[in-house]
Amino acid sequence: MSKEITNRKDNYSQWYNDIVNKADLAENSPVRGCMVIKPHGYSIWEKMQGVLDKMFKDTGHTNAYFPLFIPKSFFSREASHVEGFAKECAVVTHYRLKNDEEGKEIVVDENAKLDEELIIRPTSETIIWHTYKGWIQSYRDLPILVNQWANIVRWEMRTRLFLRTSEFLWQEGHTAHATKEEALEETRRMIDVYADFAENWMAMPVLKGTKTDSERFAGAIETYTIEALMQDGKALQSGTSHFLGQNFAKAFDVTFTDQSGNLEYVWSTSWGVSTRLMGALIMAHSDDNGLVLPPKLAPTQVVIVPIYKKEGQLEQISAKANELKQQLQEKGISVKYDDRDTQTPGWKFSEYEMKGVPVRLAIGPRDMENGTLEVARRDTLEKEFISQDQAVEHVSQLLENIQSNIYEKALKYREDNTYTTDDYEEFKDILNNRGGFVYAHWDGTAETEQKIKEDTKATIRCIPVDGDQQPGKCIYSGQPSSQRVVFARAY
Amino acid sequence: MSKEITNRKDNYSQWYNDIVNKADLAENSPVRGCMVIKPHGYSIWEKMQGVLDKMFKDTGHTNAYFPLFIPKSFFSREASHVEGFAKECAVVTHYRLKNDEEGKEIVVDENAKLDEELIIRPTSETIIWHTYKGWIQSYRDLPILVNQWANIVRWEMRTRLFLRTSEFLWQEGHTAHATKEEALEETRRMIDVYADFAENWMAMPVLKGTKTDSERFAGAIETYTIEALMQDGKALQSGTSHFLGQNFAKAFDVTFTDQSGNLEYVWSTSWGVSTRLMGALIMAHSDDNGLVLPPKLAPTQVVIVPIYKKEGQLEQISAKANELKQQLQEKGISVKYDDRDTQTPGWKFSEYEMKGVPVRLAIGPRDMENGTLEVARRDTLEKEFISQDQAVEHVSQLLENIQSNIYEKALKYREDNTYTTDDYEEFKDILNNRGGFVYAHWDGTAETEQKIKEDTKATIRCIPVDGDQQPGKCIYSGQPSSQRVVFARAY
């Protein structure tokens, strides 16, 4: 077992890095903060993309593509946006290299300096709203429901694979509407899509709520978020949907003629999820043996491994395995039959365990005699022998079972690590020593939020939109509070 | 008709721009040379991506993702590659902006200068081979069959939407092999995949061949290409597949232990197609009424337009239209029923004609009485009335018919504009006055190639791999030639 990984309890952070590395998900590149997403990691991202893309199309959106580069001046147009986004970013200043005078090296050609620097997009509101100005004249041109799949660069000083990288992949929806109500409805629709995806595909329970002023997207009037709890008791913001009001329409002067002939500014939203979801997926379910994937997002759902000593045995096992593979594929299940002779069954077992394949079937000569096979489930590591005749039915059900089991397990973990308190000492003790989500009253001020952050390193993850919305008194200041909010330390 | 477009014969170049613009495919952005791919254009690109991605996976490839940025020094590693690619490119020199001293503007923070400049990838061989070094030790690690879908930047002075833009989208396959034979086989396999895609999906006939030394990819030992003929008699290189030998393995020191225990350099290939294919698709089939799309790549294959005066009529027509829509969808046909009341049927007819929807069905009150509907096919603009009962069968067949008809039409155009000559005066006359592909003998020297280019603006598009390979005498120098090659002016 060269692939041993660090135990979660010993060093959670190293455990995460080990899984990303040893399950072949991603690796650091020679460019600081940028990652290489390896084939296994990318195939999971592709599954996520496929599902999300269908959800977006089912809710009326189409894809488009906008430039990677944004003229520097665009960032100054929306006042709060520039503060939030135009700082740590990659700046293109030149457009040509040349051989140096000795001809040994290539150097930047100082004659090829851009008149205006270009910024690699850290998010695309500005370039998109500049473009929408040309697309929108009348109410007939609305709504515009567009999404973009793209790479994004935000220069980060401390990076972690998937969770925080200078370049990452994401989707960003940018919609334009005739009315405030319609834009608000869209904002909420998309956070619901994200919550649906997180819970029903990633098997990851999430809290849904709005952000406080200080945590809001730069340029937004309201930011909706979904927040998941990782196994170290820290929260991970997994998706956001922003109601932008008329801010970007005003910044880029985008108006339309309404049905009464009046000229109005357009209302807008934006919403996005990124390869950060890969980090969430890894941390939500994995264990000390490696990656655990929800069957619905596993690129390979079932692997079949033959166990044999002689060639004749392999032939017989392969016939059965290929038959099974075909039957499972007919049910829409993705199956890999690994009959490589360059690796032992033991090596394969630990490899697929590490990579999170939900179900492993093993067939040996004795199984062929008995008409049985061994089924191992990745989530609980339980094994059992079943009849070959029942295999297809059994595996189909098992995949559903694993999907719901890991969701329930994650939900139970969250419930076990969710606290409600009105006592500030207890509040600090939980956040400083135990972790998890803490429901507490807050007076609504940025000052209190900041003080609590200094005491506990925790931030307000969201103001929940569901559940208990009783008023009370702020846990820190004693001032009136309209409802409990959720505190946690976060990624 | 506000959407009139320039006739091909009057101004071919303007005709192309008009279609791109008025069929809502793409537009120029505020960043010089970068385009916005609009929803309709992007939906066609998505169809192309989907088909190609499946073809790549069916031939054993997986996707991965490598960084946008490449350290400047990487380009110096492969001698001919640096000449070809490290010149006109976007250079990132800084990673932070700040408010200027008066606080009115944002400026580049000179304290945030990168130690080594980063180049936005113009192609990814260098960063990928740097990465592969860590992935390859033994023959067991080979082959690596990886593809990447990504954006690419090559700073272009003269740009045209889709055909030549500073930023474009593409896929780049990068494979690593244990033997030369295997790498050569892969190179040819992928050019065959591209030819298959061009002919059977894009309905665009292509010539397959190799490039001359001067037209070869920088760093390749052999470049295979597919070349299509556009309606103005110019060739368009539509896809390339490169046999890279051991060049990149040597540049990045990537070796493996073979089965006999010897250390060998790895053999490699790379291959790619880009959003340039959108330009090819547009020019291959479109006419003076707008875009013509092959049904297999049309996002909407059939549009149904109701024609009515009273509400009651619409209701009746809609019932029939929705029934038809469902029946067609069950056959895997994509259908849009456009019952918007904000536009007239005439407006819709010209809109869908402009956008290249292959089949249009119109149903009016008289049709409802007669049990008929009107079918219009986009390729020939022919219309006919058919029985509603036969509509599903008729439309299915019509779509296949259109697919093969536009291929045949493009093939006939190419045949009508392909010449073979041994006379240099005639050769020049064809290229300077008529256009098209010209098969002629060439002595194999770069000098002759250059002279011919000066006389005719034509280049050698490829040395064909199929067909007549008889030797002869060079049309320019009279020196021996091993086979005819294909000349044309090109995009």
**Predicted complex ipTM:** 0.96
pLDDT at position A2 over 60: no
Q: Which superfamily, per CATH, for A12-285?
A: Bira Bifunctional Protein; Domain 2 (3.30.930.10)
- CB of B328 within 8 A of CB of B392? yes
Given this model, what pLDDT does residue B236 score?
A: 98
What would the pLDDT profile of A120-139 be if each residue is shown by its tens digit? Answer: 999 999 999 999 999 999 99
Task: Identify from B24, B37, B66, B92 which residue to disrupt to test chain A contact, counting A C-beta atoms within 10 A and taking the largest count.
Answer: B92
Any CB–CB contact under 8 A between A120 and chain B?
yes
Confidence class for position A84, pLDDT limits 50, 70, 90: confident
Pairing of strands B222-229, B69-71: unpaired
- Which class is B302-398 in CATH? alpha beta
Amino acid sitting at position B151: N
Q: Which of residues 334-373 of B touch A (CB under 8 A)?
A: 342
Write out the residue limits of the CATH 3.40.50.800 domain(s) in chain B.
302-398
Any CB–CB contact under 8 A between A472 and chain B?
no
Q: What is the Cα–Cα distance from B481 to B448, expressed in whole angstroms?
A: 12
pLDDT at position B102 over 80: no
Return the closest-CA partner of residue B49 out of B261, B202, B177: B202
- CB of A227 within 8 A of CB of A237? yes
Write out the residue limits of the CATH 3.30.110.30 domain(s) in chain B.
418-488
What would the pLDDT profile of A266-280 be if each residue is shown by its tens digit? Answer: 999 999 999 999 999
Partner residue opposite A151 with nearest CB, options B29, B70, B151: B151
Given this model, what pLDDT does residue A100 score?
A: 81
- CB of B9 within 8 A of CB of A49? no
Confidence class for position B83, pLDDT limits 50, 70, 90: confident
Q: What is the Cα–Cα distance from A142 to A373, expressed in whole angstroms?
A: 58
Distances A217 to A125, A173, A454 between C-alpha atoms, Å: 12, 14, 22
pLDDT at position B467 over 60: yes
Given this model, what pLDDT does residue A86 score?
A: 66
* Minimum distance, in Å, between the CA of residue B11 and any CA atom of chain A: 26
Confidence class for position A1, pLDDT limits 50, 70, 90: very low
Write out the residue limits of the CATH 3.30.930.10 domain(s) in chain A.
12-285
Give percent above pLDDT 70 in chain A. Answer: 99
Minimum mean pLDDT range among A173-187, B420-434, B465-479: B465-479
Q: What is the Cα–Cα distance from B360 to B370, expressed in whole angstroms?
A: 19
Q: Are A97 and B118 in contact (CB < 8 Å)?
A: no
Count H helices, E strands: chain B?
A: 13, 27
Per-chain mean pLDDT for chain A? 95
Given this model, what pLDDT does residue B437 score?
A: 98
Write out the residue limits of the CATH 3.40.50.800 domain(s) in chain A.
300-401
List of E strands, A207-334: 207-210, 222-229, 235-245, 255-257, 263-265, 267-274, 302-306
Arithmetic mean of pLDDT, A88-95: 95
Arithmetic mean of pLDDT, B461-466: 95
Return the closest-CA partner of residue A62 out of B20, B3, B300: B300
Q: Which CATH number fits domain B12-65+136-285: 3.30.230.10, 3.30.930.10, 3.40.50.880, 1.10.8.60?
A: 3.30.930.10
Q: What is the Cα–Cα distance from B321 to B315, expressed in whole angstroms?
A: 10
pLDDT at position A315 over 50: yes
Strand order in the sheet with B335-337: B335-337, B302-306, B359-363, B372-377, B383-387
* N residues, chain B: 491
Give percent above pLDDT 70 in chain B. Answer: 99
Amino acid sitting at position A66: F
Given this model, what pLDDT does residue A4 score?
A: 84
Residue A55's Cβ-count burial label (10 Å; 0-12, 13-18, 19+) is middle
| Residues of A whose CB is below 8 A from B45 | 65
- CB of A284 within 8 A of CB of A412? no
Q: At what angle do helices B311-330 and B391-416 cross, to 10 degrees?
A: 70
How many other CB atoms sit within 10 Å of the CB of residue A417?
Answer: 19
What would the pLDDT profile of B274-293 be if each residue is shown by its tens digit? Answer: 999 999 999 999 999 999 99
Q: Nearest chain A residue to B141 by CA: give it.
A: A342
Looking at CATH, the fold of the domain delimited by B418-488 is given as Translation Initiation Factor IF3 (3.30.110)
Given this model, what pLDDT does residue A28 score?
A: 97
Given this model, what pLDDT does residue A102 score?
A: 77
Q: Are A90 and B92 in contact (CB < 8 Å)?
A: yes
Arithmetic mean of pLDDT, B234-262: 97
- CB of B119 within 8 A of CB of B148? no
Given this model, what pLDDT does residue B1 score?
A: 42
Q: Which superfamily, per CATH, for A300-401?
A: Anticodon-binding domain (3.40.50.800)
Confidence class for position A228, pLDDT limits 50, 70, 90: very high
Per-chain mean pLDDT for chain B? 95
Nearest 5°: the CA angle A143, A148, A153 is 135
Residue A418's Cβ-count burial label (10 Å; 0-12, 13-18, 19+) is middle
Give percent above pLDDT 90 in chain B. Answer: 90
pLDDT at position A80 over 90: no
Q: Are B37 and A94 in contact (CB < 8 Å)?
A: no
SS3 A347: helix
How many other CB atoms sit within 10 Å of the CB of residue A312?
Answer: 10
Q: What is the Cα–Cα distance from A124 to A75, expressed in whole angstroms?
A: 10
Task: Identify from B21, B24, B27, B31 which residue to disrupt to test chain A contact, counting A C-beta atoms within 10 A and taking the largest count.
Answer: B31
What would the pLDDT profile of B133-191 be if each residue is shown by its tens digit? Answer: 999 999 999 999 999 999 999 998 899 999 999 999 999 999 999 999 999 999 999 99
Q: Which of residues 30-89 of B touch A (CB under 8 A)?
A: 30-31, 34-39, 41-43, 45-46, 62-72, 74-76, 82, 86-89
Strand order in the sheet with B235-245: B62-63, B144-153, B167-177, B267-274, B235-245, B222-229, B207-210, B459-464, B484-488, B437-441, B418-420
Q: What is the Cα–Cα distance from B454 to B475, expressed in whole angstroms?
A: 15
Arithmetic mean of pLDDT, B355-382: 97
pLDDT at position B261 over 50: yes
What would the pLDDT profile of B111-140 be if each residue is shown by its tens digit? Answer: 999 999 999 999 999 999 999 999 999 999
Partner residue opposite B30 with nearest CB, options A27, A97, A130: A130
Arithmetic mean of pLDDT, B206-224: 94
Arithmetic mean of pLDDT, A66-75: 94
Write out the residue limits of the CATH 3.30.930.10 domain(s) in chain B.
12-65+136-285
**Would you state the structure tokens that stand for residue A133, as one six-digit string?**
């100005």
Any CB–CB contact under 8 A between B429 and chain A?
no
Confidence class for position B76, pLDDT limits 50, 70, 90: confident
Q: Are B39 and A70 in contact (CB < 8 Å)?
A: no
pLDDT at position B2 over 50: no
